[in-house]
Amino acid sequence: MPKILNVSQLKKSYESGSGKLTVLDDITFSLESGETFAIVGPSGSGKTTLLGLCAGLDQPDSGSIELCGVEINKLNEDERARLRNQKVGFIFQDFQLLPTLTALENVAVPLELQGKKNAAAKARVLLEKVGLSERIHHFPSQLSGGEQQRVALARAFSNTPDILFADEPTGELDEETGRKIIQLLFELNNEAGTTLVIITHDMDLARMTQRILRLKGGKISTDEKLIA
């Protein structure tokens, strides 16, 4: 299987009041296309920083990241944004929907940015898949947390991404709603054949993936393949 993500000797640190704080140190791993993958670890272990680097939202101090066959740390900001728009989907803990747009418009935006035809019709189909056919003209403020995350799920899959990054996708939801969202996430992912990377502290969710990478103190402590 081709590698969709290659991370090699990644290092990242930030300036803090007491000097330089190393968040990630010598991180190396690769992902095959279509793999489902969880990154787990305690708070402050570098999970979200690693996701941001892998998706080209931030730049490492050293090391290399190859995403969808492109070494992204050699791209400028506009080139990285273009790659994300074409190849990458995101789901965030706090939904990050545009408050002035309806559910339908939020899902259609990535398609419109790509110049796709029939963006609204495609967005409607995705919203039906996540059970929101009756709520497509509602604004985020008119939707529950679970409904907002369903919109975010539909938006994440709207540009048929090669790889999807989900950062604590159930972090703001109650347990029952979170379970439904995860079920939908895996159903949509199986249908699309997308590579899925989930940042989570929920080990039950992590064990639903094919592989778990554990971070501790900015380093990889274990990299465990699970039996599918």
pLDDT-derived band at 227 (thresholds 50, 70, 90) equals low
Q: Which amino acid is at 65?
A: I
Instruction: Give pLDDT tens digits for 96-150.
Output: 999 999 999 999 998 888 888 899 999 999 999 999 999 999 999 999 999 999 9
pLDDT-derived band at 172 (thresholds 50, 70, 90) equals confident
pLDDT-derived band at 228 (thresholds 50, 70, 90) equals low
Alpha-carbon span 118 to 49, nearest angstrom: 36
pLDDT-derived band at 4 (thresholds 50, 70, 90) equals very high
Residue 132: the pLDDT is 95
Neighbouring-strand partners of residue 6: 30, 66
Domains and CATH numbers, the chain: 35-59+86-225 (3.40.50.300)
pLDDT at 38 > cutoff 80: yes
Q: Is the dihedral of CA 71, 77, 80, 84 positive or negative?
A: positive
Kindly state the tokens that stand for 44. 């402050």
Question: Once rounded to an integer, what is the mean pLDDT over residues 82-98?
Answer: 91
In three-state secondary structure terms, 197 is: strand
